[in-house]
Structure 1
């Protein structure tokens, strides 16, 4: 039944294949995360899977050295976010806890008489369980290298202070307030991750210096979530959409969930999507600067998911009826294929074009939206391959080659006359089905030669040219050294 359900949900055969592979990868990731770890780390990764299954899979793209600090970084901030988000708790208590939460990181539960923080008062479900078992997270935190502890502590302090400032704010008034709030809850995460990557020496020290790029990475993700979660936030008393934007379309942000106001709600929604799109150029620049493959996949996968989500939300009235999500099969496909910057450029180009086709001329922000989308596409187009996606045709060609080859060999054996193999009938003429099989096999071989063998030979040739060029440079350098010595 699970396979049938996945097949019905998938948008294409390639998505179905990706979804099956994704599930297998997720199962392997869950097993790997808890293998050969003590009980505190096992709890940390179990909690990570519980509070964010998607992030848990993405974090597995990282090496072990990076995985542990990023895992604890996420759990610490998730506990802090749980306190800030729980509007049912006393605001004074939440404000005090947010401001001082970073100090809890100084408490090492392994020391005598230590009193690590834990609470059953905040959140529900997995988030509540995380707060109850926060001492286990603290034990893992204190096992990290001190350079990572400093980063996590500093970002927690800055984020907690920023959250405390907004706890009593019932709404964001201006776009500047909106950007500042998103900076505190997401942009600072970008700061921290960039610092962790730079401190690990897997990325250059200068990687963390472009704070504007790190900030935009966080803001783009956060704004995408805020756009998508309109109804959930409104129903829980949270109003993140800035009044400076929504006041152009109505008198109250909650009014837009009424279907009668849909003609005003859609332009507002498109305005919010347009506001998020202004961060895309910085995001693309940030990702293009990443040099380590596992770090690249870790930072790029959420970004391609975000642009896909925005494309799904744009001009979509369902945002005001519930949470709009992209198909699980599409999610799986994006996760598995995001391996290099060329693919990221392609995804952003494709979804920018998708949004562009949905922009209506009478939309109040149509000109601004098109301007931003054109900017994104201009950045991406030099890197977008002109050839179509041939993954499925290539897989089918291999399957056809195997099937047809087996059939032809079987038919030859059936007509073995004791001296030679032949598939001809008694009259000396091939049977029609055999002729079709041989013709099809011939065409498949031509296809495979064109799309497999030739590119491979060209790749080998390019590598040989590069080796020759490298050897020539080394020889010239050696000659220069000899001449200088003489």
Structure 2
């Protein structure tokens, strides 16, 4: 039987639909970017969402999840003889999730890999490198899970190590894509130093917000031996560094889209953390506040500045 023709990349509208159905904050933030960054960042998110679905596959054992991640890693590396559609069919037969949108995205993995090859060559290399690092890190984390795949982090350092794998690397991925704009080159070292802390800040707030839901699904990211106040304090420190990251992008002359894309999730994370400290896990920023934050952000950027909240946060002392 002759080999099947390679899958065609998904169109931009198709990618947008998958983003809207599988993400929250990113679905709002990615359209703020200009092309080709919008397409590149959106595809990176969707590939990472595939990895998350395999890592979080509650019906699967630890080794089943690790094996699927290894298969995805090999697909990303374009190993000869590995048929993407066959691997995906095998994953779907075992139904890793009850979320229909995640399953539909998983089904599109061969097309997403075709999209990856269709990016600017330098962007393809960046996205592949950091998605691979994330997948490899997820496999290492799962090695410490129970046979049934239940995870429990035991210390602040383990929490930070996990945040680096699933979010710090994303901060680095984004930064390398931003730095394809030669205008930012003078600020490259500062941006690279702050990038993983930008990612860690957003991930810590998400972990605090989703703690109850994660626990019900067998994931305990918040170490039981660590007081919640310590995690709140770490998140506050990281948010200061995240604000400094956005401030550095502004000083470097980053585009309006890049500033909006990075500032919006920062503002929402800062507002969410304030709510979590008062109300505990599950607290969410209202839609009205999200709208108000986005309006204030756009108005500030139109004036050539950043929202006062980010300026003040970036100037805050980083308490140890």
Q: Which bracket does the TM-score occupy, shorter chain normalised? A: 0.7 to 0.9
Distance 1:208 1:244, change over 3 A: farther
In structure 1, distance between residues paired with 2:158 and 2:75: 28
Distance 2:181 2:68 in 1: 31
3-state SS of 2:278 partner: coil
Residue 301 of structure 1 is aligned with which of 243, 264, 270? 264
Corresponding residue for residue 122 of structure 1: 96
Task: Identify the residue that residue 317 of structure 2 maps to in structure 1.
Answer: 375
Change (3 A) 1:374 1:195: closer
Equivalent positions of 1:62-101 (< 5 A) are 62-101=33-72
Aligned-pair distance for 1:152?
Answer: 1.1
Render the CA deviation track for 1:332-373: whole Å, top value 9, x for unaligned: 111222144854342574xx7xxxxxxxxxxxxxxxxxxx99
Instruction: Please give the per-residue CA displacement for 1:157-215, whole angstroms capped at 9, x wherever unaligned.
Output: 21111111111332111111110000000000000000011124353275266433000
1:268-283 equivalences under 5 Å are 268=228, 270-283=229-242
Counterpart of 1:44? 15
Q: When the two structures are superposed, what TM-score results if normalisation uses the length of structure 1? A: 0.55
Q: How many matched pairs? A: 291
Contact 1:107 1:115 (8 Å CA) reproduced: no
Per-residue deviation, 1:75: 0.4
Label 1:164 to 1:191 Cα distance change in 2 as closer, same or farther (>3 A). same
Question: Could you tell me which residue of structure 1 aligns to residue 296 of structure 2?
Answer: 337
* TM-score between both structures, scaled by the size of structure 2: 0.82
Instruction: Give the Cα separation in 1 of the matches to 2:315 and 2:121.
Output: 43
CA distance in 2, matches of 1:205, 1:83: 39
- Partner residue, 1:146: 121
Tell me which structure has the larger Cα radius of gyration. 1
CA contact (8 A) 2:126 2:173 kept: yes
1:134 lines up with 2:145 in the alignment: no
Task: Give, in angstroms, the shift of residue 56 of structure 1.
Answer: 2.0
SS of residue matched to 1:144: coil
Q: Measure how far apart 1:220 and its partner are.
A: 0.3
Partners of 2:81 and 2:153 lie apart in 1 by 45
Residue 242 of structure 1, CA deviation: 1.8
Are the structure 2 counterparts of residues 273 and 50 from structure 1 closer, same or farther at C-alpha, using a change threshold of 3 Å? same
Query: Using the alignment, how far apart are the partners of 1:236 and 1:39 within structure 2?
Result: 32
Partner of 1:191: 172
CA contact (8 A) 1:59 1:67 kept: yes
Q: 1:224 to 1:78 in 2, by over 3 A?
A: same
Displacement of 1:278: 1.4
Q: Equivalent of 1:173, from 154, 167, 171? A: 154
Pair 1:155 & 2:155 matched:
no
Q: 1:348 to 1:220 in 2, by over 3 A?
A: farther
Q: 1:222 to 1:313 in 2, by over 3 A?
A: same
Q: Pick one of 210, 228, 234 that aligns with 2:215.
A: 234
1:102 maps to which of 73, 87, 103: 73
Distance 1:76 1:89, change over 3 A: same
1:70–1:193 Cα contact (<8 Å) kept: yes
* Larger RCO: 1 or 2 (CA < 8 Å, sep 6+): 2
- Partners of 1:94 and 1:205 in 2: CA distance: 42
Aligned to 2:26: 55
CA distance in 1, matches of 2:189, 2:118: 24
Query: Is this contact kept in 1: 2:19–2:46, CA < 8 A?
Result: yes
Q: 2:226 aligns with which of 235, 242, 245?
A: 245
Secondary structure, counterpart of 1:185 in structure 2: helix
Q: 1:284 aligned to 2:269?
A: no
Q: Unaligned stretches of 5+ in structure 2?
A: 1-8, 146-150
Measure, in 2, the Cα distance between the counterparts of 1:206 and 1:103.
34
